[in-house]
Structure 1
Amino acid sequence: MRLNAVEAISLDLDDTLWSFAQAVAGAEDALRSWLIEHAPGTAGVLATREALGRLRVQFETVRPDLAGDYRRLRLGSIQMALEQAGEDVSLVETAYGIFFSARQKVEFFEDVLPSLEWLSTRFPLVAVTNGNADLQQTGGAHFFKGTLHAATVGVAKPDAAIFHAAAQMVDVVPRSMLHVGDDYAADVLGAIGAGMQAAWLVRDPSTTQAVTPRIQREPHLVIPTLTRLCEMLGRN
C-alpha cells in the first residue's frame, strides 16, 4: 500500500516504545518483594519469580469478563495471593500501588527518544494504548499532545472509536493520520479499519512468522525501528 500525506501520528506504547515484558517483570519483582516483606505468609505462595504472573493468568480464567481491565485483574490476583497465604487482604490496594509505580519504570528502546524528538517537531503525536502505562511517569509525555487509554475511552484497539478519538484530539481526518504499532491485529488492522494509515513496527522479524498466514490487510509501511520511520517520512 502507498503512504499518502501524513498530518499527524498516533503511536502504541507497550512493545513499541519499550519492552512490555521487561516492564511487567520488573513490576512483579517489586510487588513480590513488598508482599513477602509486609505479608510474610506470601513467601510460600510466591516461592518463584513467575508466581505472580501465573496468579494473574489464573485470575483472568476465573473472571474472563475483566479481560482488558488490567487494574482489576492485577488487584484480583494480588488478593488471591494474600488469601492463599492467609494474610490481610486489606493490603491489596497498597500492594497494587507498589506494582503500578514500578510498572512505569520502563527502558525505552534505543531508537525511541531521538525519533520522538524528530517526529514531534514535525507532526502532532498522540499515544494510543490498551495498557495502563502513564507517560507522565515513564517519561516522554512532552512529545505528545495527549494519551488515549482504552480504560478511559471505553473501547480498546482494534475498535475504530479509539482511533477516531486520536484523530479528533489533533483535529485531523483519519485518512491523514498514521498509526504506528507492533501488534498486527490491534494496531494495523485497527487503524486501517478506522480509515487511517498504518505502520507495522516489527523489531524482531521472527515474530511475523506466526502472523503471516493471518494477514488480511497489508500495512502502508513495515518498519524495524522508529528511526526508519523518520527516514521514510523525511523523504515524503
Structure 2
Amino acid sequence: MSTISTTGKLDGKVAVITGATSGMALAGAKLFVDEGAHVFITGRHPDAVDEAVRQIGRNVTGVQADSADLDDLDRLFETVKQKKGAIDVLWASAGGGEQGSLGEITEKQFDAAFALNARGTLFTVQKALPLFNDGGSIFMTGSNASLRGYPDWSVYAASKAVLPAYARVWVAELRDRRIRVNVLTPGQIATPMMMAALPAELKSQFESVIPRREMGSPEEIASVALFLASDDSSYINGLEVVADGGSTVI
C-alpha cells in the first residue's frame, strides 16, 4: 500500500528571516513554518514582532532587532544560539529607503539607506556565519530599482546594487563549506503596506510596466524564497534571481 509523503521541504531546518513582520518576508516565514522549519523573525517594533508571531502561530521565535544596529544583531544570534544552536537558512530581508532626486538628496537619507541595506546586510550575514551549518543557504532581498533607472531612487538603488557583488564574493569564500549565497530581487509587490500608501495613479503606473498588468503578491515571492532556502535550488549559487513579472526585460 503506497503512502503519501508529508515531508516538508524544510523539515528540521532552522531559518532566520530579518525584517519579517509584514509583506514578503512575513509570507515567507509562514511558508517556511508550513514546510517544517523553525523560524526566527525580526523587526524594529516590538508590537509588530508580537503580531507577526501571533499570525505565524507555531515554530517561531520573534526578536526585536534593527538590522542596522550591530548590538541588536548580536542579541539576535545569541538568541538563536541559546534556543537552537545552529542555522540552516538565512534570509536577510530587512531593508528600506526613501525617494530623493539628485540635487535634493540629504546625508541622512544616504547614511540611513546604506546603513541598513548595505552595512546591515553584510553584518547580518557575517554574524550568522559562526552558527551556520555547512551546506546551508543564504539569500538577501535585492530590488529591481537597481536594474533600471527609476527617477528619484538612486540612493536606494545603489544601496541594493551591492548585494549581488556580496554574493559573488561570498560564494568563493564559502565554497569549502558548501554554503550557497544568492539574491532574491522582487519587483512591484502588492504588500499591505504598499497598497495602503500607494495612490491609484501610481498603482496603475506600476502595473503598466508588468507584462501581466498585475502586481506580484507577497505569497509569490515567498514561493521563490522557499525555492532558494530548500534543496530544490541546490545548484543555484551566486545568482540574482529576479521575480518581477518581467518588468525589467521589456
- TM category, shorter: 0.3 to 0.5
Q: Which has the larger radius of gyration?
A: 1
TM-score computed with the length of structure 1 as normaliser: 0.44
Greater relative contact order, per chain length (Cα 8 Å cut-off, separation 6+): 1
State the TM-score, normalizing by the size of structure 2: 0.42
Kindly indicate which of the two structures has a greater share of residues assigned to strand: 2
Structure with the largest fraction of helix: 1
